[in-house]
Structures are given as structure tokens and as C-alpha cells.
């Protein structure tokens, strides 16, 4: 397959000036990303500060028009973007992967453009009236992850631009090319300084967190890094939206038909080869259906095509980087050493490439094992047996993280009652990890705070102003 390179040529730099970015599947160099410094960050923030008043003055209607034009641009370049994303991140073109992610960039950009945000009348009586209006904050910094680099960048960039802010983006060091390519398309329609990508290292990320001229920081990544951002941003009092790690629990209630939930359950666990913050990470199954659920999941895992992302038909890919591969392997090895049963997988797949790990279902494991207590972020699901629903809820809530959760049952009313008791920002019924651009999304506990998407997401990148008369 020939990979289109026009956008890639526009964003890469000569080898002597940049950092080599490998293909996740083959480890061959795709291109060279610029290496920006704290000085480059300072220049980008200064340019964003200077550009913001004029951008804000355009008004909502014009900014929305521009965002829709950007969505058209993304749509027109979708296949080129998907092929670059597949190579850099590793996710296949097919299935809920690279083409899906690029399509989501278009959908979320249009949603940010078209979602209405009118002043809210909060009091009116006796000739008095109070309204809440929403103004631009100023400069927003967006720090993104490597697992869904384009889509999550759009989640941060598009609402910020719609509300009249300018944006400085720092992509993950593992996937800078995807974000640079996305910004290249945005900047075909934006004034200079409104959107800048700073492709730097952790030093640049740390400088963002403490920068005095940044008004808002949006971060998706680990809980540990989120805590450091909170500490560093105290001096500037920058507003924060933090979407941090998740160890999402699912509970399968008694009486559930494993075949009826099989496909949704599988993709809840294994979407993006498990490299998703809101993927299902630990599954509690009632004893009455435990063996059937385990076998159903294992059968799907063993039969699902895995391989190089550019090869049509594959829907599972490699781990994106060596560090994550080592984490996954270590957690499975620890589970095996504890006596857990590896039903399928449980080992690397070196014939596919250096960072491939077979989709793995682990049974006869319990809380206290590292694979249950820690976020694996890979193609592995531990399945834990339970006999009492109250106990399953207690165990699901025992984690200090609370991004998502799910309940699985043919009795939707019973599932909803259990969902009300789970401590998570989103609880899905008979699905897991499905998102909607107008439905708020965010975590609780150590999974962060603040919401994205829809009206809530627009308000999160705006300053509320009450006008009383």
C-alpha cells in the first residue's frame, strides 16, 4: 500500500534537526518531528496572547463557520490522516481504530461549532433579572496523550477555539506527527498565532503547567502527571480540566446471556488494543454465568485479527511503545505467578512485530493481584468471579479511580439501580466506553475532574459572567 505523504512532508523536519518517530508496528522511522524548547513554548504563548483578542472579536457565528470549514478539510484528508495515525500510533485502519478516530475528529469539530450556548436566565422577578454569560478565558494549553492523539486533541482544541480562546498544544512525545498533521489542517483556516503545536519533551510540559500567561490547562494522561500539574499550576491559578487514568470496572449480573452482550463486552475491553483510559479494565461476573462469559470472551479474543495497521482486515494492533509493552507483559506474568488461569493469549506475538501482545483473557484471579488493582492499558482483561451483587459493587468502588464503569444485564432497570451505586463519572448499561459529542464526559476521584463535550465542555473553556439588572 502506498502511503500518501503530502501532509507528512509539510510537518516533518530534516533528520539532523528532529527526533526520529518510529512506526509502532515495524519500528522503522516514519519521519522526524521538530524538537521544540521552553523558549519555543514562550514564543507560542506570546503569539497566542497577542492573537486572542482579534480571534475572540470574530464572534461565535464566524468562529463556528471556520470550525466547520476545518471539519471539511479533515474529511477531505481523512485517508491520509488515518494512514499516518495507523503507522505512528499502531492502531489498524479498520474497525474502531484509525479511520474511526479521524472520523471522530470531524464529528467533534462540528459539534463544537454547532452546539448552542445561550445566556442563562437564573433569576427574574419584580423587574430584576440575572443572566449568566460565558466569555473567553484567553490562552488554553492542551496536553494530549498517545493513545487517541488526534481525537483527544480535537476534544481540547475545538471547544476552546469556539469559545474565543487561542490554543497551544503539546502532543505526546510518542505521537507528535499525528497532532502536527491535524494542526496543519486547522491552520489552513486560522489566523496566525491562534493554534500552535509545541512538540517538546517533559520539560516543556512542566513549563506549561507553571506558565503565568496560560489561563486554562486541559490534560489527558496519567494520574501521577495530573497531580504534578495541579501542584505546578497553583502559582498562576490556571483553570484545569484533567482526564486522568481509569481502572474501569464492569459487573455482569446474574441471568445475563453471554452471547447477547459478547460483541459490546469484547470491544469495551479491547478497543484500541486496550489502550484507552475508559476501556473496561476489570470484569466482575456472577458465578452463575462466569464460565460462559469467560469462554465467550476468550473465543472472540482468539479469533480477532491482529497485525500491522496498514494491512486491511486487522482490528487489533501493537502496543504503542516499549514501556507500555513491558507493563502489560509484567502484569500478565505476575497474574500467572499468582496462579491465575490464562484462558487465551498471555504472551507476546513476535512473529507480528516487536511490540505485539496476544489478546489475553485471565480467569480465576481476584482483587489484590496487580492485574486487577493496576491499570494494564493493553489487550488483557482479568475476569473476577462474584456471588453477591453488593460485594461486586463494593469491590468495583474500592479503586481510587473512577473514570467509567458498566453494568451488563437483560434487566435494564436492575442494571440502572446498580449503576447508581457505582462511583464513576460515566456508567454504561450493556456497553462500555461509547462516547457522544453532546453528552458530558469526565472522571471522579483520582481519575480527574472537569467535563468535556457538549454544553458542559464549552462552559469548561469559558469564564462565567453574571449580569444582574
Residue 281 · residue 401 · CB < 8 Å: no
Chain length of the chain: 469
- CA separation for the pair 93, 317 (Å, rounded): 10
Beta bridge partners of 143: 170, 219
Question: What sections of 90-168 are H helices per DSSP?
Answer: 98-114, 149-162
Active site (annotated) includes residue 269: no
- CA separation for the pair 308, 318 (Å, rounded): 8
DSSP letters for 359-411: -EEEES--BTBHHHHS---SSEEEEEEES-HHHHHHHHHTSSEESEEEEE-S-
List 101, 173, 184, 243, catalytic entry? 243
Active site (annotated) includes residue 203: no
List phi, psi (to 5°) of 215. Answer: -95, -20
- CA separation for the pair 83, 148 (Å, rounded): 14
List 80, 269, 277, 452, catalytic entry? 277
- CA separation for the pair 222, 224 (Å, rounded): 5
Burial, 1: exposed, middle or buried (Cβ in 10 Å; 0-12, 13-18, 19+)?
A: exposed
- Nearest residue to 219 (alpha-carbon basis) of 236, 194, 238: 238
What are the catalytic residues? 243, 277
Amino acid at each position: 500500500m502506498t502511503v500518501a505523504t503530502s501532509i507528512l512532508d509539510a510537518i516533518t523536519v530534516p533528520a539532523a534537526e528532529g527526533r526520529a518517530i518510529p512506526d509502532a508496528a515495524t519500528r522503522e522511522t516514519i519521519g522526524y518531528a521538530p524538537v521544540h524548547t521552553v523558549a519555543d513554548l514562550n514564543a507560542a504563548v506570546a503569539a497566542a496572547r497577542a492573537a486572542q483578542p482579534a480571534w475572540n472579536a470574530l464572534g461565535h457565528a464566524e468562529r463556528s463557520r471556520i470550525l466547520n470549514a476545518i471539519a471539511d478539510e479533515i474529511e477531505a484528508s481523512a485517508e491520509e490522516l488515518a494512514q499516518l495515525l495507523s503507522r505512528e500510533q499502531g492502531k489498524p485502519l479498520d474497525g474502531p481504530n484509525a479511520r474511526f478516530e479521524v472520523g471522530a475528529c470531524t464529528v467533534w469539530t462540528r459539534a463544537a461549532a454547532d452546539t448552542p450556548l445561550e445566556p442563562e436566565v437564573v433569576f427574574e422577578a419584580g423587574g430584576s433579572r440575572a443572566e449568566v454569560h460565558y466569555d473567553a478565558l484567553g490562552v488554553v494549553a492542551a496536553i494530549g496523550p498517545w493513545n487517541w492523539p488526534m481525537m483527544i486533541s480535537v476534544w481540547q482544541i475545538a471547544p476552546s477555539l469556539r469559545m474565543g480562546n487561542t490554543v497551544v498544544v503539546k502532543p505526546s512525545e510518542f505521537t507528535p506527527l499525528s497532532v502536527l498533521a491535524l494542526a496543519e489542517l486547522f491552520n489552513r483556516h486560522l489566523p496566525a498565532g491562534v493554534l500552535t503545536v509545541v512538540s517538546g519533551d517533559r520539560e516543556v510540559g512542566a513549563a506549561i503547567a507553571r506558565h503565568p500567561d496560560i489561563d486554562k490547562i486541559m490534560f489527558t494522561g496519567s494520574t501521577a502527571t495530573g497531580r504534578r500539574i495541579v501542584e505546578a499550576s497553583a502559582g498562576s491559578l490556571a483553570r484545569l480540566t484533567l482526564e486522568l487514568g481509569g481502572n474501569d470496572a464492569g459487573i455482569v449480573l446474574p441471568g445475563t446471556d453471554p452471547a447477547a452482550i459478547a460483541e459490546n463486552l469484547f470491544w469495551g475491553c479491547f478497543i484500541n488494543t486496550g489502550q484507552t483510559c475508559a476501556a473496561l479494565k476489570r470484569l466482575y461476573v456472577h458465578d452463575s454465568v462466569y464460565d460462559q462469559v469467560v469462554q465467550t470472551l476468550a473465543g472472540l479474543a482468539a479469533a480477532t485479527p491482529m497485525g500491522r495497521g496498514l494491512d486491511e482486515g486487522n482490528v487489533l494492533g501493537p502496543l504503542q511503545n516499549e514501556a507500555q509493552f513491558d507493563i502489560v507483559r509484567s502484569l500478565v506474568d505476575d497474574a500467572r505467578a499468582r496462579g491465575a488461569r490464562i484462558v487465551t493469549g498471555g504472551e507476546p506475538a513476535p512473529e507480528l512485530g516487536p511490540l505485539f501482545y496476544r489478546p489475553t483473557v485471565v480467569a480465576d484471579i481476584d482483587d489484590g493481584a496487580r492485574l486487577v488493582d493496576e491499570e494494564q492499558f493493553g489487550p488483557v482483561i482479568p475476569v473476577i468471579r462474584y456471588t453477591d451483587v453488593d460485594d461486586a459493587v463494593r469491590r468495583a468502588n474500592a479503586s481510587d479511580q473512577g473514570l467509567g464503569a458498566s453494568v451488563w444485564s437483560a434487566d435494564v432497570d436492575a442494571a440502572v439501580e446498580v449503576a447508581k451505586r457505582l462511583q464513576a463519572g460515566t456508567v454504561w448499561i450493556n456497553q462500555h466506553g461509547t462516547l457522544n459529542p453532546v453528552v458530558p464526559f469526565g472522571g471522579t476521584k483520582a481519575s480527574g475532574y472537569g467535563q468535556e463535550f457538549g454544553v458542559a465542555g464549552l462552559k469548561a473553556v469559558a469564564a462565567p459572567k453574571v449580569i444582574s439588572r
